[in-house]
Chain A
Amino acid sequence: MISGYSSDENVEELNDHSTTQDEEDLHNILNDLIGHEHREVESTPLDFLELNIFKNEEGSQHDSDTNSILAEESAKLFFDRYIQIDKGNDEPLFHSKLKHFFILSSAGKPVYSMNGSDDIIIGYMGIITTIISTFEENMQEDIKSITVGEDVKIVALTKHELIFVAITKIGYESMSSSNNHEEDSILVNQLNNLYHYLLSILSRPTLEKNFHNRMNYDLRKVLTPLDFHNLDSLCFKMTYGLQPHGSDPIGFDYFMSQLLGSSLQNIKMTNTTRTQLNNILLSSKKLKEDKKESDKLSSFFNIKRDDEEKYIAEDLLFSFLAVSSKILSYLKPKNHNLSNEDISLLISMIESTELHEPDSGEGDLWMPLCMPQFNQNGFLYVFVKKFMLSDYIDTGHQKQCPPITIILISGNKNSFFEMQEISKYIIRKLLKHESFKLKLYKELLLSTKLSVLHDIKVPVIKHFVYKLTKTNQYIMSDIAHYNGERNINSCIQLVYFYSMLRNTKVTKVFKPQGSHKIMHPFSNKKLTYSKWNNVTGFMLCDDTFEFYCLCTEGVDSKDLISHSLKVIKWCEKNYKRLFIGNGVSF
């Protein structure tokens, strides 16, 4: 239970439209911050090039004031030249890329490079190993980061036999944050994600053993084309919130999750439905063997069976119901938990297996996966089944909700058929009652598209993110409401604005002594504000939540505060619908 959030008294107050003392305080502070600045900016659809997001690059400002077709063209040229992953032999193109990632062995053998062919990168591998080993030998210290001029930042992470390097020319990544985050934490996190990916497919002992046998070991030999694809995809979505060579910004969820500190995205769902889903998962754990069949079997094999019945789900550790990358319901043992980092790895891995076959509904997957934070020394076994709820509903119209993914994680590599049995049970339960089936279907149709206009009715806010600090889970509005389109352009802008907002210096809000009207008992509010060409960004947080939003141009500071508070109150009021909390335990 979140302190004080759902008591009736508070809800009452939240619905109160009169300006509270808090709102007034915030408004005053924001006004001081803005300095009563009020600019009217021409309202045109924004192109990411016009924002000058990527400074000091030729071409970034070209043609921005000519007609829109040219602008679109130049945006595409810019994107292909500076952003898009390219593994070719073109050296000038390689150098123009704004972001690089390298993974190499400490002996200097390349494992992975985001851009460039082997011929191009091999020389740099030598330079990197030289710099790193010089630091290690002379200063007995791992090198962390190098800043070249004002524009280029190089961050390195060494993990035993592997070196991970990120080089960025992107302003929002290389600027040192003025907030409390550790320096370069975003880039270091990105490198850790790459390391965790390798751990997840190989596990720590395998990595160690291979390098122990031969320092000169070529890790690439054990990586599959899918692994390289996944590394590309990780690098790209961590940096730009996009998928390489794809136009749908499906990497944005992952980007935000990283920016918010491995926060887990949830899906909106009524509390009754979620509770029912939780109960289905919980009951699946107690599923017993079909006695008749097993009796037949044991007599056939002359197996002496214990008198007590066996639980099918004995080896089941964690279960998830998910829709795309968002978790609907989560089952775990009382004394164990999966970290958000591990869950996000798991989800990415599952997403990667279906990139080319959205209709993969028929196959059940069984894959070994190491969850680095849960246990980096061993594998868990993941059963994955896609389930199209729409197939079982006579809807008349063509609307389809995305498939539900059933994820069952077992500690036993031989338990595939048990997990398959459990998944069948879960599906039976989902379909059992007509009314529940329809309710779930209707909610899923809406759930992936949280609307600032329909759900919350805050017209000045174009996009928002709300994170619950306690459980480190977040929700955000549909990217489609930001620019009217879910495309690369909108995505890059959101990535930029939210990154900048995170980096902007915050102002702490101190409650004046003697203030008697206190909305949140442990209020420790901070806020920040940023203005770009025609977008205003605003952040407000306290001990329990973080709220970020982007608003239309020329928004009045009073509206900004009142609408933001409206969203925050809405989130607080609906928190049971919005967040899965700690899941359900057995």
Chain B
Amino acid sequence: MSQGNFAQFKLVLLGESAVGKSSIVHRFVKNTFDDMRESTIGAAFLTQSITLPESKTTIKFEIWDTAGQERYKSLAPMYYRNANAALCVYDITSKASLIKAQDWIKELKKQAPEGIVISLVGNKSDLTENREVEEGEVDEYIRQMTEDGSVIITSECSAKTGDGVLDIFNKIGRALPVEEAVGGNRSRQAGRRPGGVDLGRTNRQQTQSSSCC
């Protein structure tokens, strides 16, 4: 680790079906886009790394791309329980999908580990003529949600054109407790679940609460 630092974080994507979670992931991981992408069954696990030039840190994201369908909802806690970051995705052409994304934020605030980096992402920014969600509306919601001092990263992107996708992951990378992770390699290991050892929530919360943000 003489040349820069390395940290590993878990990230989960949540949101209504068909808002483009898998498309965002595939744009980020493989820089590809498929208009005909099928809906995800259960969840897919992928990895991708970014480098933050200012701190010379390489961040490896372990990404859970979850299915948006209601019937998989009961599985969601398994994915965000260990997550360091969450992307709540909505489709800017669907108001209903924003409400769903807000529900996820609510659930994360209640159930997810303390200190999880939450991001609200509006996808399909290329479809401006069908826009149903105005940025002002999102800003107002964020203002209310962050009155308690918490932070929610917001952004818009288009998985189709690639606009703003990498930006989201860079923003999240900067918000993550990188120093801590690099220092003791702690949160990196806390995120892992090697065989059979049940990492109880209490333990993890201790490690999480000591992180910054």
**A residues whose Cβ falls under 8 Å from a Cβ of B:** 201-202, 206, 221-222, 224-226, 229, 289-290, 293-294, 296-298, 300-303, 305, 310-312, 314, 349, 352-353, 355-357, 359, 362-368, 381-382, 413-414, 416-418, 420-421
Contacts and interface: CB of A to CB of B under 8 A. Distances in A.
Contact of A312 (B34, B39, B40, B196): B196
Interface of B: 17-18, 29-30, 34, 36-47, 65, 67, 69-72, 75, 78, 186, 189, 192-197, 199, 203
Contacts of B70: 221-222
B34 A356 contact: yes
Given A294-B194, A297-B197, A301-B203, A363 B18 contact: no
A296 B67 CA distance: 34
Contact of B196 (A289, A368, A420): A289
Nearest to B22: A363
A314 B196 contact: yes
Nearest to A305: B197
Contact of A357 (B34, B41, B196): B34
B195 A368 contact: no
B65 A363 contact: yes
Contacts of A303: 197, 203
Contact of A368 (B18, B29, B37, B42): B42
Nearest to B37: A356
A224 B69 contact: yes
Contacts of B195: 289, 294, 310-312, 314, 417-418, 421
Given A201-B71, A225-B39, A298 B197 contact: yes
A362 B197 contact: no
13 contacts: A224-B39, A226-B39, A289-B194, A289-B196, A300-B189, A310-B197, A314-B196, A349-B41, A355-B38, A359-B30, A382-B42, A414-B78, A417-B194
A413 B75 CA distance: 8
B45 A421 contact: no
- B40, B186, B194 — which one has the most chain A CB atoms within 10 A of its CB? B194
Contact of A301 (B18, B29, B43, B199): B199
Contacts of A359: 30
A506 to B, nearest CB: 42
A300 B46 CA distance: 27
Nearest to A210: B71
Nearest to A314: B196
The 9 closest A-B pairs by CB, nearest first: A367-B42, A312-B195, A310-B196, A224-B39, A226-B39, A363-B44, A364-B45, A367-B41, A226-B38
Contact of A417 (B71, B72, B192, B203): B192
A352 B38 contact: yes
A353 B38 contact: yes
A416 B45 contact: yes
B198 to A, nearest CB: 8
Given A298-B197, A362-B29, A413-B78, A206 B41 contact: no
A426 B37 CA distance: 29
A418 B38 contact: no
A296 B192 CA distance: 12
Contacts of A413: 75, 78
Contacts of A364: 44-46
Contacts of A305: 197
A356 B194 contact: no
Contacts of A349: 41
B78 A363 contact: no
A366 B65 CA distance: 10
A355 to B, nearest CB: 7
A201 B36 CA distance: 21
Given A289-B196, A297-B197, 5 more contacts: A222-B69, A225-B38, A297-B192, A367-B43, A417-B195
